[in-house]
A and B are shown apart, each in its own frame.
Chain A
């Protein structure tokens, strides 16, 4: 699948923003009357920038408001509805916190629920597609939720350290769980080739005659389908990128997080570096998520 930069930027930035919102809403972030709302503003801007980026890949972005109408059937519509509801509720939560000096517990919990639902909806847009076997499984959902959670833990940890607070005991466990979920996605879906969904024989229905091979394509230059669904550029570098992601995007932030808990002097620079590395890793992982995914339409073109 073609890795559209706007979709990668959207899912990575909004994932980090939503993860931070969820933890802040649950009271697991900084609790100060200034540090809390400021962290909230950071998450709000990140998620907002991501949501704006998501409209850049549309053919007719001026009609994007229509995407709020089909929440009964469409995960993309649900993502839109939930994201906008989350932005409104979370804005009220942060503004109330800033004005009154203390956060509203119900609004915080509602924000956390909506944030989890928003990331879940994003993941389901991909996990629902039977046409892409690598995506159409629960590991996709776990990976999206896991990366958002990991980013949230690092971002709130950094905010607390900067505000002179100490994250509570066990605050690193969600980071471990989130990183494990992100790691599991590629390990467990790598073997889900196109053949697990369909074959050239079932795509053409000609299996009874023998093995099917394309002799001549229907057009001489690549069309929309081939550019969008049969993206093969960079696949040969996929293994190296995956190693970069695991080392710099998963293990390094985890190590830096533990280090920051042990050595107080290193806490702020360590967590800042961890956040930067997490973002770097998340971009690689999301690029691979698209570039490595194969769509069954490739079977008609004799390519994957």
Chain B
């Protein structure tokens, strides 16, 4: 059913720390590895060894620079995946009921057996979170590793999304953002976590933590570099050559 369920208490999601992300793409490959063998159709790659490889991924890592009015620019690595919006436009536009949001934990999923591959949900998503699997003809998206987080067959430390498990710098956090006392909610409150494109009215669950302010570097004097003042033996040599 593509009507959105009444907003539940539990809102599972990710908190991504843009301060610690180093842009290694470990979350991307780990996500691809888990999800190509798990839930639904495999994440196909087309023309993987050709000049223009294309494949379905559920997570992408961009690199941006933020350029202030004065001072140096700051480079920010930026992972982008489904934000599991409370008011998910990708769900309500679906004509078949394949796209749905779970009432119990807020995860947005695609029932691939009912997906006709029309692509309208991808058009409705402002975040580019959905990619068509060209081989299977169905829409793929982040499942928040629904087949890991409740999986009793896995050791407890593995019952988190593959991207969170793989992140070597601890830049990705998983938890219940509906619970104000949860670790992720406290992290968001402490660090001033924000939502992406709030003006689209989608009410994302996922939050991003801003890069911490950097200490302003010492102003660099180029004139000092151009005329180095020699000391010691070199200084004596310099003065001697000057007198010649």
Contact = CB atoms under 8 A, between A and B. Distances in A.
Contacts, number: 197
A70 B96 contact: yes
Contacts of A214: 62-64
B196 A132 contact: no
A277 B138 CA distance: 38
B137 A73 contact: no
A221 B123 contact: no
Interface in A204-235: 204-206, 208-225, 228-229
Nearest to B120: A76
Contacts of B29: none
B74 interface: yes
A57 interface: yes
B53 A221 contact: yes
Interface string B17-51: 01000000000100000000000000000000001
A221 B119 contact: no
B131 to A, nearest CB: 5
Contact residues on A (Cβ < 8 Å of other chain), bracket: 35 or more
A224 B136 CA distance: 14
Contact of B116 (A67, A197, A204, A216): A67
Contact of B89 (A61, A64, A130, A209): A130
B220 interface: no
Given A129-B123, A206-B210, A210-B73, A66 B197 contact: no
Contacts of A24: none
Assign chain B's interface to a size class: 35 or more
Contacts of B92: 73-74
A131 B123 CA distance: 7
Interface of A: 1, 57-61, 63-64, 66-67, 69-70, 72-77, 80, 125, 128-132, 197-198, 200, 202-206, 208-225, 228-229, 295-297, 300-301
25 contacts: A58-B137, A59-B117, A59-B119, A59-B134, A63-B96, A67-B118, A75-B93, A80-B95, A129-B124, A130-B201, A132-B123, A202-B197, A203-B196, A203-B197, A204-B78, A205-B195, A206-B18, A210-B69, A216-B62, A216-B63, A221-B54, A223-B57, A224-B56, A295-B123, A300-B127
